[in-house]
């Protein structure tokens, strides 16, 4: 198992990206905690060219989906939720309840919220596209201002002004 990481500048702050044997396993929006730093692996710029390019394209408004090898670690339920998040179209949102129904857990909105909060691949697995039942912005590990930024970035073509 070969784990490496790099830090990628972005409009929402530095992103720490972690790869293991070629697959993306973490994308941190916040600076890593001490415990997280122990699991980042060596810092390297090599092997991250595709991730950096795709993130740059996303933030420039030219990429609507990511094409990267992913290997998130989670429970079966978390993996099902994260997979469902990748199906939310660019520029659109879904409620936690709608995601719960899509993974076969109607009434499981809180469980979906918890799984979304543990999403190890923010942005690439777009948990920022999940909103409260009334459409309000709730629950985002990177903070609500970043969530608003990401949604505004994706919806800019739909806004009149």
**Which of 55, 127, 150, 151 does the annotation list as catalytic?**
127
Burial of 65 (0-12, 13-18, 19+ CB in 10 A): exposed
| C-beta of residue 122 within 8 angstroms of C-beta of residue 141 | yes
For 105-133, give one letter per residue: b (16+ CB within 10 A) or e: beebbebbbebbeebbbbbbbbbbbbbee
Confirm whether 127 is a catalytic residue.
yes
Query: Which positions are catalytic?
Result: 127
């Amino acid at each position: 198992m070969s784990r490496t990481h790099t830090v990628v500048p972005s409009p929402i702050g530095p992103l720490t990206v972690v790869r293991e044997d070629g697959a993306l396993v973490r994308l941190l929006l916040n600076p890593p905690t001490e415990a997280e730093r122990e699991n980042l692996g060596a810092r390297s710029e090599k092997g991250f060219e595709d991730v950096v390019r795709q993130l740059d394209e996303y933030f420039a408004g030219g990429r609507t989906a990511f094409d990267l090898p992913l290997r998130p670690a989670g429970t079966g339920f978390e993996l099902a939720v994260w997979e469902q998040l990748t199906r939310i179209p660019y520029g659109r949102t879904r409620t936690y309840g709608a995601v719960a129904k899509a993974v076969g857990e109607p009434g499981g909105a809180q469980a979906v919220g918890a799984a979304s909060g543990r999403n190890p691949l923010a942005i690439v697995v777009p948990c920022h596209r999940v909103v409260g039942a009334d459409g309000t912005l709730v629950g985002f590990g990177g903070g609500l201002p970043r969530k608003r930024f990401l949604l505004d970035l994706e919806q800019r073509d739909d806004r009149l002004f």
